[in-house]
Structure 1
Amino acid sequence: MPPFRVGLISDTHGLVRPHAKVFLQGSDIIIHGGDICDAGVLAELSSIAPVIAVRGNNDKGAWAQELRETELVQVGEIFIYVIHDLAELDIDLEAAGVRAVVSGHSHKPLIEEKGRVLYVNPGSAGPRRFRLPISVGEITIRGMSVSASVMELE
């Protein structure tokens, strides 16, 4: 069975960059870590692959009310927990069988393994904030094996 490719994007703040769309091509699903800020972003991403998105602190209005604050997604044999702000994490990930966590909020790319849980923040793909990079990421899943990478777009 071929590996699953999960495209990761967060903190778009209403902007879908052409380079982000190119990077996300070939994803089996796309996970958006919140701060979408415009329903059109989700529509644009869903033309590439199915999208799972969570509501960020800047996602307001009727369209955003349909988004949950967290999502638990099964991809292949593993579970991925999606939350905008890691500081609001309130579950025992290992007890829940979670193998990876995708977040956003900080705009800082992160890949870190703690115990059996891989934490990935793809950074921000939206308007530049301070001197932080513009970036996206991906998770590759082969059975129970999970790896992640983040790529700067500029």
Structure 2
Amino acid sequence: MLRQVGMNATNPKTIGIISDTHGLLRPEVEKALAGCDHILHAGDVGDNRVLERLARIAPVTAVRGNMDYGSWSNALPVTEMVEIDTVFFYILHDLNRLDLDPVAAGIHVVVSGHTHQPELTRQEGVFYLNPGSAGQRRYDYPISVARVPIENGQPIPRIVEIAL
């Protein structure tokens, strides 16, 4: 399913990217996402209250992760494609379950989570963005999110480490 988000191309937008909250939404994470025009959550939300709090910042599109259980999570799709200002984002939890060819599908940014490790790469013109985990710290991985400004129709992703 393609969800189109109406944005004005003459007014640059910033998309917040978050994953693996596992029921924890830190105030520092909310502050890092402040000012975003839309938030994409790549699964392992952990609790619907996380999505409700994020929705106070900006509209939210979320997918279900492998640790999302219960009736609240049944409404979350496993994958979602979102178009924002002519930029196509494809969201899933586990990149290993990517079920399409992003280049052929015209996707600009593939958003995933699952590993808890932030990563940003670009292959064949497609950004692959894992914002890392915004929930409980795992191993020595940072707490992080990502911000993706869209300028002149181009996504400019960057990972933001959260200082605690």
How does the TM-score come out when normalised to structure 1? 0.97
Equivalent residue number for residue 104 of structure 1: 113
SS of alignment partner, residue 51 of structure 2: helix
Equivalent residue number for residue 129 of structure 2: 120
Equivalent residue number for residue 18 of structure 2: 9
How big is the alpha-carbon RMSD for the aligned residues of Structure 1 and Structure 2? 0.8
Aligned length: 154
Query: What letter matches 1:27 in structure 2?
Result: C
Query: What letter matches 1:91 in structure 2?
Result: L
Equivalent residue number for residue 18 of structure 1: 27
Equivalent residue number for residue 46 of structure 1: 55
Equivalent residue number for residue 143 of structure 2: 134
SS of alignment partner, residue 109 of structure 2: strand
Alignment check: 8 A CA contact 1:122 1:150 kept: yes
Q: Distance in 2 between matches of 1:45 and 1:5?
A: 15
Residues 96-146 of structure 1, C-alpha deviations (whole Å, 9 max, x = no match): 110111110000001100011011111000001111110111111123312
Q: 2:82 aligns with which of 73, 89, 95?
A: 73
How does the TM-score come out when normalised to structure 2? 0.92
Query: What letter matches 1:18 in structure 2?
Result: P
Equivalent residue number for residue 93 of structure 1: 102
Query: What letter matches 1:139 in structure 2?
Result: V
Q: Distance in 2 between matches of 1:42 and 1:143?
A: 29
Per the TM alignment, residue 68 of structure 1 is displaced from its structure 2 partner at its CA by 0.4
Structure 1 stretches of 4+ moved >4 Å = none
Whether 1:30 and 2:39 are equivalent positions in the alignment is yes
Identity, % of aligned positions: 47
Unaligned runs of 5+ in 1: none
SS of alignment partner, residue 106 of structure 1: coil
Alignment check: 8 A CA contact 1:76 1:143 kept: no
Unaligned runs of 5+ in 2: 1-9
SS of alignment partner, residue 103 of structure 2: coil
